[in-house]
């Protein structure tokens, strides 16, 4: 009955929902997909002499990700420097994810088991670092750990050491900085799932002959797994593409992929290589995510 009127109403409804989502679609199309497409195109062009790109077709950039051409005899060999950077990025990102989890889990558990009033205060404290610019916070860490910084000065003053410990401009410094920066991103999703965790399950596990470790391993971790997955993703992805932290705390030598890409668009004057590296990073993250989520959400039914 009255199908014509219904269809008209439905059409109007659909038009309105399109209209409402138009701004978001516009932004996505031009601010996200557009640049991505340009990057993809650039990666197949030859580099210009003074940066920029020239028109033509070249796979040099893609080959250049893993191989470098000898200037004299033109032979290709594996680019060790690139591999070192990839490996460092992966290693530091994994360490950061693991360590933020090890620190973040007890923190989130602690917050979730406080009184409602205390929880609000603690969560507020967790979000305080977001108030300040990342650059400023990273320089602050630099100030703490550099050779003439607070930590070294204090240790020398108390006589524990004679010469400053080299912390800044090492992989460790980058790891430390990233752990600090990304810790809240691990704590917040963990808190959200632990908050919903039914504490009576702990007693049930204990009652059914599980030791404290077994309760943690077989009850708590599986139940809060969605939070662990979310937190790991939120930490791992920006870690892999980190730019500011390795730049300030790693110096010029301890580059990560982010800095390496930046280098190609700047002093390296090889835009296509930078573009190819960017696309590679994007694909690597997508594949890693896919594998991880598939693996982590797999049902471990064991009967």
Partner 1 sequence: MSSAIAIETRRALKEYGTGSHAVRALDGVCVRIDKGEFFTLLGPSGCGKTTLLRLIAGFETPTSGQILLHGKNITTVPPNLRPVNTVFQSYALFPHLTVADNIAFSLRMLGRSRSDVLQTVERMLSLVRLESFASRKPQQLSGGQQQRVALARALAPEPKVLLLDEPLSALDLKLRKEMQRELKRLQTETGITFIFVTHDQEEALTMSDRIAVMRSGKILQVGAPREIYNHPVDRFVADFIGETNFLSGRVEGDKIRLSSGELVAAETEGHSGSVTLAVRPEQVGICPAGTSDSLTAEIVDTVYFGTDTHCHLSLADETELVARLQSPPSGNIGLSRGEKVGIKFNPGAVQVLNE
Q: Which residues bind partner 1 (CB under 8 A)?
A: 198, 200-201, 203-211, 214, 218-219, 222-223, 225, 301-303
The nearest distance, CB 228 to partner 1, in angstroms, is 13
Q: C-alpha distances in angstroms, 183 versus 98, 102, 187, 231? A: 11, 10, 6, 9
CB of 102 or CB of 208, closer to partner 1: 208
The nearest distance, CB 209 to partner 1, in angstroms, is 4
The nearest distance, CB 290 to partner 1, in angstroms, is 22
Phi and psi at 59, nearest 5°, equal -100, 5
How far apart CA 105 and CA 61 sit, in angstroms, is 42
CB of 53 or CB of 112, closer to partner 1: 112
CB of 3 or CB of 301, closer to partner 1: 301
CB of 129 or CB of 222, closer to partner 1: 222
CB of 77 or CB of 217, closer to partner 1: 217
CB of 156 or CB of 223, closer to partner 1: 223
How far apart CA 276 and CA 60 sit, in angstroms, is 10
Q: C-alpha distances in angstroms, 188 versus 63, 98, 135, 166, 229? A: 41, 16, 22, 33, 12
Phi and psi at 243, nearest 5°, equal -125, -55
């Amino acid at each position: 009955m009255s199908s014509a009127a219904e269809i008209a109403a439905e059409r109007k409804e659909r038009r309105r929902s399109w209209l409402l989502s138009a701004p978001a679609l516009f932004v996505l199309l031009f601010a996200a997909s557009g640049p991505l497409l340009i990057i993809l195109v650039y990666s197949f062009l030859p580099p210009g002499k003074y940066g920029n790109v020239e028109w033509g077709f070249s796979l040099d950039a893609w080959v250049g990700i893993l191989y470098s051409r000898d200037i004299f005899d033109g032979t290709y060999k594996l680019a060790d420097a690139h591999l070192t950077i990839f490996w460092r990025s992966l290693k530091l990102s994994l360490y950061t994810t693991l360590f933020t989890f090890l620190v973040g889990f007890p923190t989130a558990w602690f917050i979730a088991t406080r009184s409602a009033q205390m929880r609000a205060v603690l969560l507020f404290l967790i979000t305080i670092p977001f108030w300040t610019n990342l650059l400023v916070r990273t320089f602050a860490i630099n100030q703490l750990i550099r050779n003439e910084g607070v930590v070294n000065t204090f240790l020398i003053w108390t006589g524990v050491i004679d010469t400053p410990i080299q912390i800044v401009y090492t992989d460790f410094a980058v790891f430390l900085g990233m752990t600090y920066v990304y810790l809240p991103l691990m704590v917040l999703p963990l808190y959200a799932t632990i908050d919903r965790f039914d504490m009576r399950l702990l007693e049930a596990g204990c009652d059914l002959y599980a030791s404290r470790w077994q309760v943690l391993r077989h009850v708590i971790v599986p139940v809060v797994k969605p939070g662990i997955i979310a937190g790991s993703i939120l930490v791992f992805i920006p870690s892999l593409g980190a730019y500011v932290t390795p730049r300030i705390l790693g110096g010029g030598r301890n580059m990560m992929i982010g800095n390496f890409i930046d280098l190609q668009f700047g002093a390296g004057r090889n835009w296509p290589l930078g573009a190819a590296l960017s696309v590679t990073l994007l694909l690597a993250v997508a594949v890693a995510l896919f594998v991880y989520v598939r693996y982590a959400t797999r049902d471990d039914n064991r009967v």
